[in-house]
A = this chain, B = another copy of it.
Amino acid sequence: MSKLTALFRKALSASTSSNTSNTPKADPLEVTASNESNTPKEQTRWNGWGNININKEVSPHGAKLIKSHIGKTKKLSSVTLESVIKTVPPSRLPSALTDLEIVSTDSEVRVRHARGQSFPDWIAMHSGDFGVFPDGVALPKTTEDVEKLLALAHEHDLVVIPYGGGTSVAGHINPPEDSRPILTIAMSEMNQLIDLDKQSQIATFGAGTQGPAVESQLAKQGYRLGHFPQSWELSTLGGWIASRSSGQQSLGYGRIEQMFAGGTLVTPQGVLEIPDIPASSAGPDLREMMMGTEGRAGIFTEVKMRVQPQPEQEIFKVVFLPNWEAGQTVLRQAVQGNIRLSMLRLSNATETDAHLHLGTTRSQFLAITAYLRSRGLGSEKVMLTYGVTGEKEQNKLALSQFKQLLKKHGGVGGKIADLMGSIWAHGRFKFPYLRGTLWEKGIMVDTFETSTNWSNIDEQMAQMEAAVHNSLTHQGEQVMAFTHISHVYKQGASLYTTYFFRAGKDHASTLGRWKKIKHAASSSVANGKATISHQHGVGRDHAPYLIAEKGELGLKTTASMIESLDPEKRMNPGALLDD
């Protein structure tokens, strides 16, 4: 044990020093006054994830494991930013727009706002085949600016794309082919805490505020929002609301639906003020009607968020259980038993094995697997990460109740539980960086996710993994897939599947492979009792599959609601609704 502990201490110290220097702090509890504004666009990668100063390495035996599934890989070529800039066509925006100080038609700015983080976006950004660029990017500073922009959009018949952090993995912010000029409205200048009502615990923010800037501005006053999606480093309040985001600690803090209290939505038909009332029986809830409209109904400019005092204590732990059945039983009983945890995450056996490879050195891996084997956990073992957040006395009861539950189902933690928990917490926002590292090795990675009832969890997971696993068999290609649950509810849980395949001979053939996998993946969800997305939203990539979930009538009702606010269909056409 002492050797094992030492190995993990080393890993922890590595993860908190060199990799995070010069960057927004990865751990929200460490946010400081030094990063109260958004990350400047020039400090983010133009063709990949995150801050240009951050990298995350893949262990050699981790890469080897993946290749043992998918075969030998070869790196795809990448174009330069300069070469892409040269392909940007002249702007079609009228002078009424280009004359505005808040509108830029600079080619680099247009490139940097043309794509998100979906797999097709990465192919576009590395092949240089962008297709469509926005004709200009507006950076409004006030609600009135946005009103003016939408009025001009009407007057000059523009298409408008609302842009938050540009982190969509489902094609939310991609300008579509359209005969009308396209104006992307990027909300990054509206990034400040405007008001904090401490008695009602309501914070008013500019909707373009990114995760770290939200938390650092609140932390200065002793408060926290608690919304930590994987994209937290770059994604924004407005984006979270418009796409119904869910953060890693949704068990404790709730989804964005529970946090969003109201605010200002600028629509083509005028300003919709959504009142911040604690609860109401006065008809359908405007908050809930507008959340998830993905820019189709308008643009959130100022938002009122339910915040909470900084927690007295926060602890994350990692434990292992003998198998998936034991793991998911623990999750279900914990949430249905009201044990006050702030987070629960369970990797299935394949993901557990992969994470143990990817996140460790060879010697760490051998030490931990040997230790777990000595405790009776073999190849079916699953990794469970959990957290408590809040008042110490409440945490103490929650930890004691949860430990009893773990013990009953064969959980193994011990000293490594805290150490691995700390490693997870310090590295929690760095996983997206792995994608670039793997890309450089010719290993393509993508994810898809859903949620379903507990009675359907096993069946749904099996369908999802089988679907992607078999999707390229006809081409003789292997797809590696594994899954975790990261959000639990009394009724059911999320399922999040990661898959790996190898790049084709060029960008086009690689994208062709992805399209086949993606269709198989989306169909496995659409054909199940499950949602097409639990946390990524619909965007353009999932829109064709939404009908399976909402039905024809459900989609028609949604479209009618949206059309009443955007009768000219100029707001983000093609997102959400497959029109």
Chain A residues near B (Cβ < 8 Å): 197, 199-202, 243-246, 255, 257, 261, 267, 269-286, 288-294, 306, 308-309, 332, 336-338, 340, 390-391, 393-394, 397, 401, 451-456, 487, 489-494, 529-538, 542, 546, 549-551, 553-554, 556-561, 563-565, 576
Among the listed B202, B289, B393, which residue makes an inter-chain contact with A453, where contact means beta carbons less than 8 Å apart? B202
**Which B residues are CB-close (under 8 A) to A246?**
279, 281
**Which B residues are CB-close (under 8 A) to A289?**
284, 288-289, 557-558, 561
CB distance from A303 to the nearest CB of B (A): 14
**Which B residues are CB-close (under 8 A) to A281?**
243-246, 292, 531, 533-538
Contact in complex: B393, A280 (CB < 8 Å): no
Contact in complex: B491, A306 (CB < 8 Å): yes
Known A267-B553, A279-B255, A306-B491; judge A455-B199 contact (CB<8 A).
Answer: yes
**Which B residues are CB-close (under 8 A) to A397?**
393-394, 397
**Which B residues are CB-close (under 8 A) to A199?**
332, 453-455
**Which B residues are CB-close (under 8 A) to A282?**
244, 292, 531-533, 537-538, 542, 546, 549-550
> With the chains together, A202 CA to B336 CA distance in Å?
12
Contact in complex: A286, B557 (CB < 8 Å): yes
Apart from the given pairs A245-B281, A279-B487, A337-B391, 8 other A-B contacts in the complex at a CB distance below 8 Å = A246-B279, A255-B279, A277-B549, A280-B549, A282-B546, A283-B576, A284-B558, A286-B550
Q: Nearest residue in B to A577 (C-beta to C-beta)?
A: B283
Contact in complex: B279, A489 (CB < 8 Å): yes
Known A279-B246, A397-B393; judge A200-B453 contact (CB<8 A).
Answer: yes
**Which B residues are CB-close (under 8 A) to A338?**
340, 390-391, 394
Contact in complex: B554, A455 (CB < 8 Å): no
Contact in complex: A283, B279 (CB < 8 Å): no
> With the chains together, A557 CA to B558 CA distance in Å?
11
Contact in complex: B306, A490 (CB < 8 Å): yes
**Which B residues are CB-close (under 8 A) to A271?**
553
Contact in complex: B283, A451 (CB < 8 Å): no
Contact in complex: A288, B285 (CB < 8 Å): yes
List 27 A-B residue pairs with CB atoms under 8 Å apart, sorted by A's residue number.
Answer: A200-B453, A200-B456, A201-B454, A202-B453, A246-B279, A270-B553, A272-B553, A272-B557, A273-B554, A275-B531, A275-B549, A276-B491, A277-B451, A278-B451, A278-B452, A278-B492, A278-B493, A280-B533, A281-B531, A281-B533, A281-B535, A284-B291, A285-B288, A308-B336, A560-B560, A560-B563, A560-B564
Contact in complex: A453, B561 (CB < 8 Å): no
**Which B residues are CB-close (under 8 A) to A272?**
551, 553-554, 557
**Which B residues are CB-close (under 8 A) to A550?**
275, 282-283, 286
Chain multiplicity (copies): 2
**Which B residues are CB-close (under 8 A) to A291?**
284-285
> With the chains together, A280 CA to B525 CA distance in Å?
12
Known A490-B308, A565-B557; judge A200-B292 contact (CB<8 A).
Answer: no
Contact in complex: A491, B278 (CB < 8 Å): yes
> With the chains together, A158 CA to B74 CA distance in Å?
69
**Which B residues are CB-close (under 8 A) to A491?**
200-202, 261, 276, 278, 306
**Which B residues are CB-close (under 8 A) to A557?**
272, 286, 289, 561, 564-565
> With the chains together, A171 CA to B282 CA distance in Å?
14
**Which B residues are CB-close (under 8 A) to A275?**
529, 531, 549-550
Among the listed B278, B288, B565, which residue makes an inter-chain contact with A489, where contact means beta carbons less than 8 Å apart? B278
Contact in complex: A278, B245 (CB < 8 Å): no
CB distance from A409 to the nearest CB of B (A): 16
> With the chains together, A374 CA to B278 CA distance in Å?
38
Known A269-B553, A491-B306; judge A197-B455 contact (CB<8 A).
Answer: yes
**Which B residues are CB-close (under 8 A) to A576?**
283
Q: Nearest residue in B to A545 (C-beta to C-beta)?
A: B282
The 9 lowest CB-CB distance pairs between A and B, nearest first, are A288-B288, A560-B564, A278-B492, A244-B281, A280-B531, A200-B453, A278-B489, A561-B561, A278-B491
> With the chains together, A308 CA to B487 CA distance in Å?
19
> With the chains together, A292 CA to B558 CA distance in Å?
16
